[in-house]
Structure 1
């Protein structure tokens, strides 16, 4: 309240009778802005202070702040074109995180109610700007390698679903392109893109072309690494998931753990590194690599790979498999050979894609829809002019234990496989 007291003292010390001449005019003009500015300041402070965010409320903190800001705007607390308080000020005022403030503001920006100017702040959009924003639709590209697109893959469908849902919430149109040889770009330039999500990676030359065209890019699940690419990426913690699976099998007493997947993949690298970490021997006879061109292999690939391992006549006591579809093929081949899961061999899949097996499959769960949503959120921040530092957002994974893994001591039948 010291601001108001200071203003009152200044007003009281000013002669009530207007002085003549330039000095009198200046004094009278000086008084009015002080009273107006202080009154407006106190009015906004008191009105916003009366509105409290309840952390325990069923409505999220982000949604509560959004409604408060929306109410203040509708009540005219902030004029059109006026700047709202900074993220830091709002976070301190309501005792919430800056991340929650940023999410609420981003929603209002997406709705055309606010707009952000880099380096200056966030402002109330004019009525004409809001009307334009409500009817304007952006085109968001979804680029995927033809090598991947030719396979029917539930995993990538789920990433696409997450991207589509996020674009739908933003009122935007999703434009699908399959990219030949993981390097080129669509030749048809008839559709103007506001940004694009790239799945599987692009060569550096292709990324440079997008950059030159001023199109923001977010990379997802880099199967083909973009060397030297200065771009934002959303990746999956494959290495962490592999470590969870190996640790689970070691805790069950398994000392001979095999792998079926892609050579040079993050999962394979984490596999042999974890064996070293737990003091287990790496046995090449317990490893079967899938064809390198089979970027997203399925059940048939797993079936053939398991047949090759069985033919070696020296099976491990447990297997880590690159995805659930391959793992289902592995379990089919084991059943055909009369080898029971988990009594004689444990199997761990990857991605938790809802594949039905008997017994139910232990796997590493990945929220692939979330991967797609995070990619679009990162892309929107770039489109809106927010400074986004190039780097990776790593999506965590979790181990889901079901019936395809069991302790090594569970059955003496395992001894025939050692």
Structure 2
């Protein structure tokens, strides 16, 4: 296999797996970053060959930095490795004549209002919605759609500032908070336009897909368990789904239709869906592999599939192999706090490493960290991953082990306020 020069725009979270795969394939890996501190911060130190530092929030800066680098005219692929820069990366890739998701499709995937409009135009089942800027508009939209509703930013992620709204009082309190949410990860700006959406009743899933000219080369459904309302924090993922398996095809069909509606017909995707009494309804589309260890761990454990390797090969216009090597199951469970306080430890967490069906544990919180009931994915304290022969076993083991863990809070020292 010939060595190619592959550039990634700001590897982070799921994107670190991209850099690792390309590095292990022997390619020349270039990371385009906003700070030289980011490889250490996001965990990809040692799996790249060179850095280009620029303002990744600006299309022209990104383009000019590449053109001014030793890699001008020499890149074989430019791959978005963070959600926030995905549309900018797509635009620059088009300017450089490189393969990728079309800019308009990436833009719709990044902006939930544009995606909702596309679903509506193409008859894809979603949620009733209104885009709003002011509290007055939000109240009018909520009354038109009918409480309960969901208030969310148009271009954030990880359930940041997503609110379940029961009443006008809830709405006022949440809107006062959301208008102060100006900047998200990596200093990307949060738009001052918000969505009021119909609250969709029903169990939640994500559909993991890899399309080739609109047709799935690979497809599976992940079941999600989320935190109690009013928050939407994902706590357990099981792949493949242990429940509602008779409606898997309906979920997959809805996900593929949503991708087609926004213009994604090639490459990996992660589509979030609720199975309502009237059938599948789309929550959102992501034109990249699923995060939260779904792609980096659960797909590998359950099926032996490396979707990141397939994606790098797609961007390099190489043959894609994405067949299942085996059929098992895996689940990931997240530990969260049940109160405000200072974190000390998770009782029983260290012992999980010795469990024969636990393949990975990771502690996120550090002793002394201020913690509270989780409002977004950022508030989770740690996770562990289970494997089993069936999805039901993987899920039940994860839930059982999770129930045995106890978050320990640091005691305040006497005389200290």
The reply to whether TM is greater than 0.5 is no
Q: Identify the structure with the greater helix proportion.
A: 1
TM-score relative to the length of structure 1: 0.30
Give the TM-score normalised by the residue count of structure 2.
0.30
- Structure possessing the higher radius of gyration over alpha carbons: 1
> Greater strand share, 1 or 2?
2
